[in-house]
Every structure is written in structure tokens, then in C-alpha cells.
Structure 1
Amino acid sequence: MKNRIEFPASEKVYMTGTHYPDLHVGMRKVEQMPTVTVKDGKKELVQNQDVYIYDTSGAYSDPDVCIDLERGLPRIRERFVRCNDDIVQLEEITSEYGRMRLKDSSLDTLRFKNTVPPYVAAAGKQITQLYYARCGMITPEMEYVAIRENMNCDQLGIDTHITPEFVRDEIAAGRAVIPANINHPEAEPMIIGRNFLVKINTNIGNSATSSSMEEEVEKAIWSCKWGGDTLMDLSTGANIHETREWIIRNCPVPVGTVPIYQALEKVNGKVEDLTWEIYRDTLLEQCEQGVDYFTIHAGIRLQNVHLAEKRLTGIVSRGGSIMSKWCLVHNRESFLYEHFDDICDLLAQYDVAISLGDGLRPGSIHDANDEAQFAELDTLGELVQRAWNKNVQAFIEGPGHVPMHKLRENMDRQMKACHEAPFYTLGPLVTDIAPGYD
């Protein structure tokens, strides 16, 4: 089968939970060859234990699951969503743009057909992993990631400190996040944080000149096969809404986006025409589809944009350059900064995490750790606190193009300014020579 993922000398196995016995956490069991020893002149084979490894391939590597891209992956978390009295299901989507696309009959052949009305927090209720952790609760997602991170260590007799209680405490402290939108039940919960396994993000996306929906879904599956822990859809071409639906419904890992990219497409690429209303509806549209985390460049402040003028390579972040131009054209603070609390209120209704984008990241080692970069970092520290005040999970996008002798300063400044929130670095890339300038 085209979309079946297979690995030699291993099999897909599932571990169950204790707090939630109906959890089935997938991982790979790898058979080791026996060790050959010599005793009294004779060869003996000593059987080695199986090795269990982290697996991001989801149902694609399970031979017992029938893969049908037109139906999507099994909705493994939906039973927990349905059993949560703090969550309700709507009758239909509510974003204006989403409804407009739905009414356009010319898109019928492109549309993912097997959709489900979106879920949302009930009125007056909090549903985020951060909120539940602060209340002392262990959610199914928390136990799931604890089992995943352990990779069967307890049964192999290996001591581990990663328990569901430890996961809960790290999330409550803001040192870890579980990006798990209630409208992406196909995703297997995973955790990002300094006290857990290192995670790798993969970027995909169409453009105005290349790639089809089929190719984007194939890229997503390929990423999951080779260990991509999260997936970002950075599409800027045609039919972004429909392409994203196909990706999410067939993706077993958390999906992230940069919403300002799609918002810009809605105004035909004219930065000056961007508004809070367009951006908010884009957030709502993507929340209802099931995007698990958003990169939001709310750290761009009007007062700091001029600091990049001293640089060799200027502002290289696409989101950063969009918002910097908007601030300068309108001579005011960005709507992302002004409406940040409104953004958090919206995201909390779906448990969407925020990746606070570093719009003033350096594009070359010449500009690393400069005044512009650290001015924005201080703003991100303010914003992460505001997100936490709304019970929204948050992590910080960090730079590349930071030479090795400046990494420590970069890390120390981030830890202090951003209160130990997870740091998601681009690499960390320590040179310009191999990849070229950003």
C-alpha cells in the first residue's frame, strides 16, 4: 500500500495506561540479535532484550489499521473529548471565511468530505492542559506522553522520573507544552520541554508555483515516517484552507501554522490592508480545523523596529517583516500585540498553544545577540506571562545563525526573560557557511 510505513526487524506495539486503562500508546519494538559468547570453547547465543523506541508514524505503521486518506486517520482522542463535560460540539463551523469556502460549490472536488463539526469549550469553562495541570489533574494526554517518553523503561527495569505526575507538574510550571487542539483528535499527544526528549519540527507547504494537495499530504506522511515530531504547514499558494484540512485529517503529529501568512493571502499580499478582524477570523478558521499551535509574531513593537537598521542582514523572518512593515505604514503598535489578550481568549477555547515567533531573529552570525533580538526577547517574556494568565500553553521560537560562543548567553537570556518556557530554536544553526544566509 502506497501510504503504509514499514520498518525492518521491528513491530508496532501498544502500551496501556493506569490512570486511563483504555489508552493505547504506540511505539516500536525492535528485536536485537543475540550476543555470541564463547564458553569452554563453544559458542553460545545470549538472547538480548527487545528495544522500544519512540515512534511518530501513527497508524501508518500499524498493519491492522486500514489507511484511507479520504476518511482520515482514526480519531483516537475523540472519546476523551466527548467525555469532557467542559467541551461542547457545535452544529457547524463559525468562521466567516470557512463558511464562505464551504458554500463555494466549485471547491467540491477539492474538499475533504469526511469532516466533523468542531468542538469548543463550553461557556465559562477552561479546557487547556495548562489549566488542568494547575488544578492538579492528570489528563489522558498527560499520561499518554509519560508512557511515550518512557519507551517501556519500567518494564525493562530501567528507572525513570517521567511519570504522569511529573508531566503535570512541568506543564503547570510552564516548562513544557502538549500541543493538542481538541479538533485534531487524530494526533497522538506529545510533549515539548527541556526535561523531555528533544523534538524535531518539519516545515511543508505549497506555493503559488508548485505542489498539490496530494503532494502536501505525502510530505506530511513522509515526515512522520522519518521522525518529525511536529509539522508546520506554511502554505502560501492556492486553496490553503482545503489543503490544510487534508493534512490535519491525515496527520498523527501536532500541526502548526503561521496564521499571518494566510491572512496576507486574503488581502492579496497587501500588508497595509491587514486588519485585526481578518486575522481573528483566520485564527478561528484554523482553530476549528484543528491546528495545534500558532506561530504569532506579537513581539514586534513599533519602538524596536528601527533597531534592525544597524544590521548586516536586516529582518529575515517573513512574519517579522510583515508585521514590521505594518507598524511602520500605520505608525502604531501591531494588532497582534494590541489584541494579544483577545488572541489568548480565543485559543484557550480550543487548547491551541502559542509559539511566540522571533520576528527579529538574526539572519547571520554578524547580527546574533544584538539589541534588536534581545529587545524582542524581553517582549516575548511579557507575552508568555500574559498567555499563562489566560491558561494558554506557550513556547518561544528561538534563532539560528548564533555562533557557538554566543549560544550560552542566548540560552541564559531566554531562560531568564521568558521564565523557563520551552525554547524552540532554528537548529540551533551556528554558522552561515553551510546553509547560507537566512
Structure 2
Amino acid sequence: MSKTQLEHARSGTITAAMERVADREQVESETIREAVASGDAVIPANPSHESLDPIVIGREFSTKVNANIGTSSLSDDLGAERDKLQTALDYGADTVMDLSTEGPLDKIRKDHIARSPIPIGTVPIYAAATTVDSHTELTQNQLLTEIESQARQGVDYMTIHAGLLKEHLSYADDRLTGIVSRGGSILAAWMDEHDAENPLYTAYDDICQILREHDVTISLGDGLRPGSIADAGDAAQYAELDVLGELTTRAKEHGVQVMIEGPGHMTFDQIADDVKRQQEICDGAPYYVLGPVVTDIAPGYDHITSAIGGTEAARAGAAMLCYVTPAEHLGLPDESDVREGIIAARIAAHAADIATGTPHDWDNALSSARASFNWPRQFELAIDSERAHDGFKSDDSDDDQSESTQQRFCSMCGVEYCSMRIDQDRKDTTESDTSADITAIQDSDAPHQNLPDISEEIDFSSCPAHIP
């Protein structure tokens, strides 16, 4: 039986996947090996996922972004899911989770695995639940069978809600929004119906054996995550987290890589303490957070509320942000929502990486282009090049954008009040007349002589985001 990435790392072996992610992160391969061996980082890389280009998820490395896609009762079209996957890839997601609950689930999952160069995650209980008329009819054997089937297909990581115990259910009874996790609510209903313990908890060692055989990373789900800021940090959330700490140790004993899923809604001031608590309880296992959403008042804008929380979570040590789309709390996201969610989460991740010491060469290059009024270079360097290009507002009198992108001002201030142009002209000792004819200034397309030289390409290979 082959070893997992964790087992290789513990034995001192640097795998091809470790070498690849070291190159992508611009660190030594030994740094990756040590992080994986300690459990501080994971490389979700099922050997059966042949199209995979591996990544590393850990607090010491670039913050990663996950995009959730999937079908529902309102849409189960394979073509639409392919389009969402491609959108996720185009706009820089680091992983994708298929959360489909309707349609040809096996076919959709296999298609994603075949097409995706980034890790694919799933929540096996969703697919298992489609095989029975009622969620409470699920059996432990059906859950294990589904987990093994998806592992054989090539799924790289799976959310397993094994930390939600029967004794925790009463803690959530007085919540404002109750249990908001789909997996958590299914298991809660099952435990009540059968008056029995969570079958994923009682079968946890069997699950770990299956995942170890296929080197599937376990993502320990937070079935009692808060669904509103009123419920954040309550007894239910942290009782489950304590169990996740136990399950983290047991997974590592089986040689299985493990990461922990975190809260959905939480006030800004609670986030850093929550990350610290998770790191202590779960022995430094990578923290994978949904948002967190820092206020409940913004349906349609929760990609923004989650980006605010995501920046703070990643700054405090979270390793991966699960995006939240504008459609969160409203409906099934479409391609446009996927794009908005990914860009918002990537901005949050990048902002956190800068705050924790990542070189900001990318930011400097764009600012240099901005200072030299090099509009095409600004569009090229923007995190969403298409949006930047489409949003450019030129001189209204100029219908030719190829000409207007040479102008030394934007329509926000206009040529007469452009602060950078005024300041550059003030410092330009070669100009004898700083009140030169406005038309001549507008027509000038030459970079200012006192500006930084951006002609030399900058190496952005250390940046996790795709630079066009």
C-alpha cells in the first residue's frame, strides 16, 4: 500500500508534489516537508486525480481560496456546472468543492475531476442522502460506501461532519438561526430519529482507513457553525470544536492529512481569538473558514461582508478562505456570482498575505503603472483585468479608447485637477512652463521622466494569484 503525503513527510521523503508546491510558493522543499510532517500544512492530492497540479494549504504559505459550486433542485445541468468550474479556474480559485445535491452526481463529479487542475472537494453525505427517501433512512454502511466510491474517483478532500455529537444538539436549540450546516442538520435529524450517536463519529476509524488508502485529506466539518452573529462563539460551536481536536489527532495517527472547517458568521472582534482557539485545540491543523461573514444585514453583498472577515481570519492564521458569493442566503449562485465571490475572496487573501509579510511586488507594479498613466499595464495587472478595462472611463470627447488610454488623467478628476499629473509637473525640472497648454498635456503619451521604470518584467511566480 502506498504512503500518504503525511507518511512520506514523516519518513523524511520529499515527494514530487512537495517539490511542485515548494516551487509555487518559492520556498525550500524541506520547508514544505516539515510543515506537512507536523500537520501544519496539507497537500490534497489523490493519486487518482490525474489532471491535478497540487497546492499546499497552511498558515505559513499563501492564503488559498476555495469556490463552492454544485447543483440543486432548481438546476442540475452538467453544462452549467462545467461553466461554473471553468469560471472558478479562470478567476483564480485554488480549490473547488462540488456540493451537488441533484442530477447525475457521479457524472458531474467525474467530469470535474477529469477537467480540474486544482483540488476537488466534496461532502459525501449529500450524495448518500440522495439514495434514500428520507435522510433518517441513511445507514452507516451507505455513508462508508459513498466515501469509498468518491475516494476511488479521485476526490482530493472531503468534508466529514464527525464532530457533531448527540449531546451537542440541545446546545443549538436556543439559537437564533439553529443548525445552518446542511450536513449538520441531516445528522441532527438522524440522531434524533434513531436516538443514537453520529454514525460518522462512530465509524471514524473506518473512514480514516478509507481516506488513508487513497490519500484523501479530511476536512473536518463544522456542523454547528454559527449562521448568524448572534450565535457566534456559543457553547454548540465550541463543544464541536473540542471534538474536532480529538479527531485531528486520530486522523494523524492513521496517516491522514487533516484540516478544520471554521465559522460562517462572527463579529470582526471575535475572529482572531477564534483562529487562535482553533490552532490550539487542533494542534495547528490548517483552518479553512467560510467567510467569516461579519454582519447579517447585507443579502446580495455577502461577498463583501465575508471578504472583510476573511482578511482578518487569514491575517490571524487561517490557511484557506471559502468564498461567499452575492447569492449567499438568496439562491443558487450562477457564473457571475462565482466570479464575484472568487475575486472578493482573493482580494481578502492577498490583503492578509501582505499584512503578514508577503512581498507586495504585484501592488508596487500596478501602482507604478498608475503613476505613469500606463492604462494598458494597469488593466493587465488588475486582479480582474476584464472588469478594470470595462470600468475605465476616458475623456468623454474621445471615442477611441486606444487613444484615451494614453491620457495623463482619468475622468474622475479630469486633466486640470489630476493630482498625480500636477505633482509630477511640479517636480519636473526640465519643464520651463508648468502651465503648458492643456491640449498638449492631454495629447502627450510619453511616460514622465521622473517615474519608476516598469519596462522590466517583475517575477510574480511567488504570488498565489494568476497574473495575466
Do the two structures share a fold, i.e. TM-score over 0.5? yes
Q: SS at 1:200's partner residue?
A: strand
CA displacement at 1:350 relative to structure 2: 0.6
- Matches for 1:40-59 after TM superposition, within 5 Å: none
Q: Answer yes or no: is 1:257 the counterpart of 2:122.
A: yes
CA displacement at 1:428 relative to structure 2: 2.3
- Matches for 1:136-147 after TM superposition, within 5 Å: 136-147=12-23
Q: Which residue of 1 aligns with 2:430?
A: none
- Matches for 1:257-296 after TM superposition, within 5 Å: 257-268=122-133, 270-296=134-160
- Matches for 1:26-425 after TM superposition, within 5 Å: 125-150=1-26, 162-268=27-133, 270-425=134-289
Q: Which residue of 2 aligns with 1:44?
A: none
Query: What is the one-letter code of the residue matched to 2:60?
Result: N
1:242 and 1:146 map into 2 onto residues whose CA distance is 33
1:249 and 1:145 map into 2 onto residues whose CA distance is 21
Query: What is the one-letter code of the residue matched to 1:219?
Result: K
- Matches for 1:419-434 after TM superposition, within 5 Å: 419-434=283-298
Q: Which residue of 2 aligns with 1:23?
A: none
Which blocks of at least 5 consecutive residues in structure 2 are unaligned?
303-327, 330-468
1:266 and 1:376 map into 2 onto residues whose CA distance is 28
- 1:351-409 CA distances to partner (integer Å, 9 max, x unpaired)? 00000000000010011000000000000000010000000000000012110111122
- 1:287-311 CA distances to partner (integer Å, 9 max, x unpaired)? 1111000001001101111100121
Query: What is the one-letter code of the residue matched to 1:308?
Result: A
Contact 1:126 1:348 in 2 (8 A): no
- 1:247-278 CA distances to partner (integer Å, 9 max, x unpaired)? 1101110000000000000113x111111111
CA displacement at 1:126 relative to structure 2: 4.4
Contact 1:276 1:336 in 2 (8 A): yes
Larger mean CA deviation between 404-413 and 166-175 belongs to: 404-413
Q: SS at 1:266's partner residue?
A: coil
Q: SS at 2:67's partner residue?
A: strand
* Root-mean-square deviation (Å): 1.2
Moved over 6 A (4+): none
Contact 1:401 1:431 in 2 (8 A): yes
Q: Which has the higher strand share?
A: 1
1:413 and 1:324 map into 2 onto residues whose CA distance is 25
CA displacement at 1:208 relative to structure 2: 2.6
2:252 and 2:85 map into 1 onto residues whose CA distance is 31
1:357 and 1:263 map into 2 onto residues whose CA distance is 16
Q: Which has the higher helix share?
A: 2
Which blocks of at least 5 consecutive residues in structure 1 are unaligned?
1-124, 151-161
- Matches for 1:6-25 after TM superposition, within 5 Å: none
- 1:167-221 CA distances to partner (integer Å, 9 max, x unpaired)? 0000001000000001102010101000000100001111233141122112111
Query: What is the one-letter code of the residue matched to 1:131?
Result: E
Q: SS at 1:203's partner residue?
A: strand
- 1:137-192 CA distances to partner (integer Å, 9 max, x unpaired)? 00000000000112xxxxxxxxxxx2100000000010000000011020101010
2:228 and 2:293 map into 1 onto residues whose CA distance is 10
Q: Which residue of 2 aligns with 1:63?
A: none
1:390 and 1:126 map into 2 onto residues whose CA distance is 13
TM-score by length of 2: 0.63
Larger radius of gyration: 2
2:182 and 2:248 map into 1 onto residues whose CA distance is 21
Query: What is the one-letter code of the residue matched to 1:382?
Result: E
Q: SS at 1:218's partner residue?
A: helix
Q: SS at 2:265's partner residue?
A: coil
- 1:68-124 CA distances to partner (integer Å, 9 max, x unpaired)? xxxxxxxxxxxxxxxxxxxxxxxxxxxxxxxxxxxxxxxxxxxxxxxxxxxxxxxxx
Contact 2:140 2:200 in 1 (8 A): yes
CA displacement at 1:246 relative to structure 2: 1.0
